[in-house]
């Protein structure tokens, strides 16, 4: 084995003002998560017929609570975290400051977007869920708020790109540092992916809610939504993957075995994340079966880089476990540092994600999808992906990131460890409830406690869902106690605090085909071609659309 090399240069420190902007983005992210988990508890308890939503002003209505839960957890929390975290990783990896003004502009745009959307949701004028399908119509401030949240990700993307361009000018012919490569690839993917939601919100729904357009076209808006709505799940996931590749091996005392393969994985996500949206629309009329089959096939394609990730990261962990004295086939796993909260949270996130991934494969299978679409199975699937692979990983990252950003030591390490275990137990119990109920026809997005058609067999499923959700809430509560304790009472760290950088076995190749991996321009062109193959036939046949639906507001 060769001497490992550090994957990205360290030693460079971001200007104090930049760190402050990033710190506020991370605070905003976790502030949103805190609101979201209170709502989440209400949603989970609904399945076990316990009504707590009535006690929360501004969340009295089931769909109001569910909208707040979806928007703050799946959009505000994830976007704010990605904007802050990947700005930091890019700047550190390139060893140069990003544009400080843009960092603050990102923060301000997110706050404004959040306030506008919160106003609409809090006053009960936007109970349209985070998918906002027309003809359900929300208050204009909801759409404008969401649009601004998307703009904040574009501003971050521009900032990363400007940083990369400057770095390239100063370092001609040098390979992009791996950590910058994976961060920029994430934003390049999302820049192309977010076009659908932007066209739908700014071009159709916002003017419609302002009375400028009279009617809406549900199928067109759904299609534009899912054009962005599938890749958005990778925009949530990839910052966690950045950490699994670039930091978790370091926590575990291991090394990453291939720089090249890591780049290939992120290029595959860039290429394949977007042309898959119809797997959310298998049951929609008006889209040909042939087009659905293309999206199904590409969905199996985008499964592949996650499989590669599973084996790459597992190998890095194995190296760490063996260096700590692990022997035999499995003993290395138990030798990992199970006392490090940042590592444990992310290991548990990975373990849960194996189940989340498998359920994804079932969703993607056209005929199996018919059995579980719109049932409680789906929230079962996505709480084992975004609800744990992503959220628990971000919590794990926070255990070193908050001390790094505040220069204070983590308070309550034991509580932090316990929090991850309780949270994971909660996710698994809740998913067990939702998944078994879903297989038995228990619907999602339904006020089960007042449904007149409940099946007796849903009772156990509902109770497990409520119990699991309560455990998740307790785990989340413990996490916030640690977080707030650290920010307010953490001991000032002595000496410099650094980001945990993973090392790789080999430096990136300086000649040969691997060098071409860094040419983002080619990958972006290839991605656009794939998008055209996957979407153009539908739009050619469907446009100019059917703008005939009159708006509904049941709230
Ligand atoms: Fe999904 C619906 C298919 C991944 C989120 N998904 C959803 C919805 C959400 C969501 C929110 O094809 C509902 C949307 C709504 O409101 O209607 N999903 C997939 C597939 C994957 C997948 C094929 N989903 C995700 C991720 C999400 C997410 C990631 C969030 C972050 N999903 C679907 C489909 C639907 C769907 C259909 C529509 C269903 C319907 O009818 O409505 C794949 O990308 C999954 C790949 C994952 C893997 C797992 C790899 C495992 C890893 C961990 C390794 C472990 C280690 C541990 C290293 C292949 C990387 C080592 C430890 C040791 C034990 C040694
Ligand atoms: Cu999807």
Task: Evaluate whether residue 550 is within a structural domain.
Answer: no
> What does the pLDDT read at residue 506?
86
Residue 299 CA: nearest ligand 1 atom is 23
CATH of the domain at 100: 1.20.210.10
> What does the pLDDT read at residue 1?
45
* Top mutation candidate among 294, 363, 369, 396 for ligand 1, by most atoms within 8 Å of CB: 363
Question: In total, how many domains does the chain have?
Answer: 1
Determine whether the shortest distance from the Cβ of 463 to ligand 1 is under 6 A.
Answer: no
d(CA 40, CA 44): 6
Q: Which of 382, 394, 423, 473 is catalytic?
A: 382
CB distance 110 to 77 below 8 Å = no
The whole-model pTM stands at 0.96
Q: Which of 280, 383, 408, 432 is catalytic?
A: 383
pLDDT bin (cut points 50, 70, 90) of residue 315 is very high
Q: Which of 234, 235, 269, 404 is catalytic?
A: 234
> What does the pLDDT read at residue 555?
79
Task: Note if 230 is an active site residue.
Answer: yes
pLDDT tens across 61-104, in order? 889 999 999 999 999 999 999 999 999 999 999 999 999 999 99
d(CA 421, CA 348): 8
**Minimal-distance CA residue to ligand 1 atom 2:** 378
**Is 455 or 23 the better-scoring residue by pLDDT?**
23
d(CA 435, CA 431): 6
pLDDT tens across 153-206, in order? 999 999 999 999 999 999 999 999 999 999 999 999 999 999 999 999 999 999
Task: Evaluate whether residue 9 is within a structural domain.
Answer: no
Residue 241 lies in domain? 15-498+506-542
Determine whether the shortest distance from the Cβ of 536 to ligand 1 is under 6 A.
Answer: no
For residue 173, with 0-12 CB atoms within 10 Å meaning exposed, 13-18 middle and 19 or more buried, which class applies? exposed
Alpha helices per DSSP H over 71-177: 78-94, 100-122, 140-170
**Minimal-distance CA residue to ligand 1 atom 5:** 382
What does DSSP assign to residue 325? T
d(CA 14, CA 17): 8
d(CA 373, CA 361): 13
> What does the pLDDT read at residue 252?
96
Determine whether the shortest distance from the Cβ of 150 to ligand 1 is under 6 A.
Answer: no
Determine whether the shortest distance from the Cβ of 313 to ligand 1 is under 6 A.
Answer: yes
Determine whether the shortest distance from the Cβ of 381 to ligand 1 is under 6 A.
Answer: yes
234 C-alpha to ligand 2 centroid (Å): 9
Determine whether the shortest distance from the Cβ of 299 to ligand 1 is under 6 A.
Answer: yes
pLDDT tens across 213-263, in order? 999 999 999 999 999 999 999 999 999 999 999 999 999 999 999 999 999
Task: Evaluate whether residue 430 is within a structural domain.
Answer: yes
> What does the pLDDT read at residue 545?
92
- In the structure encoding, which two tokens stand for residue 529, read together? 């071609």
CB distance 14 to 97 below 8 Å = yes
pLDDT bin (cut points 50, 70, 90) of residue 554 is confident
Residues 451-455 have a mean pLDDT of 79
pLDDT tens across 363-392, in order? 999 999 999 999 999 999 999 999 999 999
128 C-alpha to ligand 2 centroid (Å): 20
pLDDT tens across 492-523, in order? 988 777 889 998 988 899 888 999 999 999 99
Task: Evaluate whether residue 112 is within a structural domain.
Answer: yes
User: In whole angstroms, how large is the CA radius of gyration of the chain?
Assistant: 23
**Minimal-distance CA residue to ligand 1 atom 18:** 360
Residue 302 CA: nearest ligand 1 atom is 44
> What does the pLDDT read at residue 553?
87
Task: Note if 382 is an active site residue.
Answer: yes
What percentage of residues in the chain have a pLDDT greater than 70?
97
The residue among 12, 14, 73, 16 whose CA lies nearest residue 42 is 73
Mind giving me the DSSP string for 326-377?
A: --TTTHHHHHS-TT-HHHHHHHHHHHHHHHHHHHHHHHHSHHHHHHHTTBTH
> What does the pLDDT read at residue 451?
80
Residues 13-34 have a mean pLDDT of 97
pLDDT tens across 248-257, in order? 999 999 999 9
Proximal ligand: closest to the CA of 368: 1
């Amino acid at each position: 084995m060769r001497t490992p090399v550090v994957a990205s240069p360290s030693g460079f420190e971001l200007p104090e003002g930049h760190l402050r902007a990033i710190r506020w983005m991370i605070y905003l992210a976790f502030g949103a998560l805190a609101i979201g988990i209170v709502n989440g508890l209400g949603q989970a308890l609904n399945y076990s017929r316990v009504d707590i939503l009535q006690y929360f002003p501004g969340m009295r209505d089931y769909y109001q609570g569910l909208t707040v839960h979806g928007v703050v957890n799946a959009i505000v929390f994830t976007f704010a975290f990605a904007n802050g975290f990947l700005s930091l990783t890019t700047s550190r990896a390139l060893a140069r400051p990003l544009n400080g003004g843009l960092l603050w502009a990102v923060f301000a745009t997110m706050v404004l977007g959040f306030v506008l959307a919160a106003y609409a949701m809090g006053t009960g004028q936007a109970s349209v869920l985070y998918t906002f399908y027309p003809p359900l119509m929300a208050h204009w401030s909801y759409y404008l708020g969401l649009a601004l949240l998307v703009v904040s990700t574009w501003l971050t993307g521009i900032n990363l790109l400007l940083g990369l361009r400057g770095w390239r000018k100063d370092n001609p012919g040098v390979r992009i540092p791996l950590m910058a490569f994976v961060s920029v690839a994430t934003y390049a993917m999302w820049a192309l992916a977010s076009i659908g939601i932007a066209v739908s919100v700014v071009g159709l729904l916002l003017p419609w809610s302002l009375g400028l357009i009279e009617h809406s076209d549900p199928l067109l808006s759904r299609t534009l939504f899912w054009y962005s709505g599938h890749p958005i799940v990778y925009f949530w996931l990839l910052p966690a993957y950045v950490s699994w590749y670039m930091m978790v091996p370091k926590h575990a005392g291991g090394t990453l075995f291939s720089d090249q393969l890591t780049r290939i994985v992120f290029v595959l996500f860039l290429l394949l994340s977007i042309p898959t949206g119809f797997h959310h629309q298998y049951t929609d009329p008006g889209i040909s079966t042939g087009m659905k089959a293309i999206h199904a096939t590409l969905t199996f394609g985008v499964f592949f880089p996650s499989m590669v990730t599973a084996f790459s990261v597992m190998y890095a962990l194995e190296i760490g476990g063996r260096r700590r004295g692990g022997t035999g086939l499995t003993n290395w796993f138990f030798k990992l540092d199970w006392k490090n909260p940042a590592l444990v949270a992310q290991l548990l996130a990975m373990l849960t994600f194996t189940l989340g991934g498998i359920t994804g494969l079932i969703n993607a299978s056209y005929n199996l999808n018919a059995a579980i679409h719109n049932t409680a199975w789906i929230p079962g699937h996505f709480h084992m992906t975004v609800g744990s692979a992503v959220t628990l990983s971000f919590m794990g990252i926070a255990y070193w990131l908050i001390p790094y950003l505040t220069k204070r030591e983590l308070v309550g390490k034991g509580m932090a460890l316990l929090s991850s275990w309780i949270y994971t137990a909660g996710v698994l119990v809740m998913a067990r409830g939702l998944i078994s109920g879903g297989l038995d026809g228990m619907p999602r997005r339904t006020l089960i406690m007042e449904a007149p058609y409940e099946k007796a067999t849903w009772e156990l499923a509902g109770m497990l869902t409520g119990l699991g959700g309560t455990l998740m809430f307790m785990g989340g509560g413990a996490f916030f106690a640690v977080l707030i304790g650290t920010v307010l009472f953490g001991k000032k760290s002595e000496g410099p605090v650094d980001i945990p950088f993973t090392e790789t076995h080999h430096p990136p190749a300086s000649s040969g085909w691997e060098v071409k991996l860094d040419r983002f321009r080619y990958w972006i062109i290839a991605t656009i071609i794939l998008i055209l193959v996957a979407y153009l036939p539908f739009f050619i046949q469907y446009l100019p659309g059917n703008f005939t639906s009159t708006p509904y507001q049941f709230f």
